[in-house]
Structure 1
Amino acid sequence: MKEKGVRELPKVELHLHLEGAAPPAFIRGLAAEKKEDISGIFDEQGGYAWRDFWHFLKVYEAATSVLRSPEDYHRLTLAVLEESAASGVVYGETFLSPDFCGGRDPGAWREYLHAIREAADQAERQMGITLRGIVTCIRHFGPEKARETAICAAETAGDWLVGFGIAGDETVGAPKDFAWSFDCAREAGLRLTAHAGEWGGPESVRAALTDLNPERIGHGVRAIEDLALVDELAERGTVLEVCPGSNVSLGLYRDFRAHPIAELDRRGVKVTISTDDPPFFHTTMAREYQELHRAFDWDEGQFGRIARQSLDAAFCDADTKARIAKLLEG
């Protein structure tokens, strides 16, 4: 299969942080407009500069600091979706946080959400890419702020805002600390996902499954270290939102060949492919596909199967799934 063909394959992405997908040039331009000096977060080539995961979180929050209005988020959403569409993504779900969009104030959050959704609708008309939103609480901000975030999510749940999850530093607190927030979101009809099994090891996946009961796990790749857990994930049908390029860039695995996505897939776990925070990790959905093709000789049939599996795991409604399914057959 030619690499150009990989780029053109229709793709479904389930694990994308909206702010983390901001092109560096977009953030630099916004900072210049606001006369903010955040030059320290960029390298000599103009990309984001970070040393390790915890420094990455600091750089991420510094970049996000120049996004201060609904209009900023409208522009951000268009910039991100333009990049995704160029990689062949036809359907995506993005993580949004009221922590960054109005400081968890429900009224302000509604204004930000309206601006993001307007941009998503514009991108769908102009670029042919469909987007839905998943609210995430930020783990290292603590459970009390997570409750406020969950209330924002519950009050705006619907056909566009379809999910709730948790992101941030896995080493802070425990999943059970956020059970109230997940129960609140569940009662509002939101579908659930949780970051685990990236830095916390397989035990963090078990804790998330036990205490939060999500149907998807963000990352989850460290489950490979516990084959009984792998079997449990396969039996439960829990979907892993796998981000290979992110894992390699952050040093979890030395390269794509060493990444466990193929072994997890072989053992019956439902895996999907995403980029996480693509410009931070010098990746795109097209590059993820290219590297997986090189590492495991995955072909068009394998990628098509994973795209359909991803669509099955998407949190959108049945009508949207049926429309996207036709694009995948295309």
Structure 2
Amino acid sequence: MDTEAIKTSGLFIKKKPKSGYQKKMKLISRYKYFYFMLLPVLIWYLIFCYIPMYGITMAFQDFSMSKGFFNSPFVGLKHFKELFSDEDFWRAFWNTVIIAVYRLLTQFPIPIMIALLLNEVRHIKFRKSVQTIIYLPHFISWVIVASIFITFFSPETGIVAAIFKEQATDMLTNPELFRPVLILTDLWKEAGFATVIYVAAMASINTEHYEAAVMDGAGRWSLVWNVTIPGIRNVIFIMFILIIGKVLTWGFDQVYNFYNPMVYSTGDILDTYIFRTALGDNKFSYAAAAGMLKSVICAVLLIVSNRIVKAFGQEGVY
């Protein structure tokens, strides 16, 4: 235990160490203005993220809008039992898993590859121009993106129809081609923006590491493998955790704007299924049960991926 000896009148008096609570209060007092700046964000999260969580009770009720949360009858796990016996739910669940795996295999490594390529470009203006061009689609809403690609893939007036003519097919009504369309359009829109994070991480790598490696005879590939990638390893792991955490909630806006009843067999995901069930069929409690199950799975994946990353000796998100 750390103590401070104070000499008073020839005696040494041991001063009691401060408690953990006192240390915390002193720290808060010291940085009080930073906490005041954080306060609006905490209030926003409280109002829009935590208070609405009371709606989870809907999953255990036969909810009626006329009766409200407090008067709707409690039914326990009734809706969860219905979920596990519903073929449409399982179809949407496995579609979500398959599309999420495709996205994970493309959206995670491809931005890293693009960032590594951009980092090798020595012409600053050209690199910035390319970087700007590839991340601009991120700021276009999925409504506009869907309109562009629906027109592009139209079998009557689209560019694809003009090139392939009789062989042209409507890719957005073909169940077998719908998933590739989702992956390609998602890459076109989001890969460039994810690249910005890795480029920024590469910019923070100490140039002395590159100079030392060059003096040891390292080539371009060796520099990338032994300096650049280790320098951004922690960022890569954190991005991996964040992607895993949202893997089942990824893509509602995109799928909702692209899909149609003809591609439900391969394109209907959990979020669109929940949305359609709640608002189309007015089965609010059933949809709430499906949403709660999805959130629990995402939370488990987040915790597991964070622990795996820590097991590799890297820093997690918490």
Q: TM-score when scaled to structure 1? A: 0.24
Q: Which has the higher strand share?
A: 1
Q: TM-score when scaled to structure 2? A: 0.25
Which structure has more RCO (C-alpha within 8 Å, separation ≥ 6)? 2
Structure having the higher Rg:
2
Q: Which has the higher helix share?
A: 2
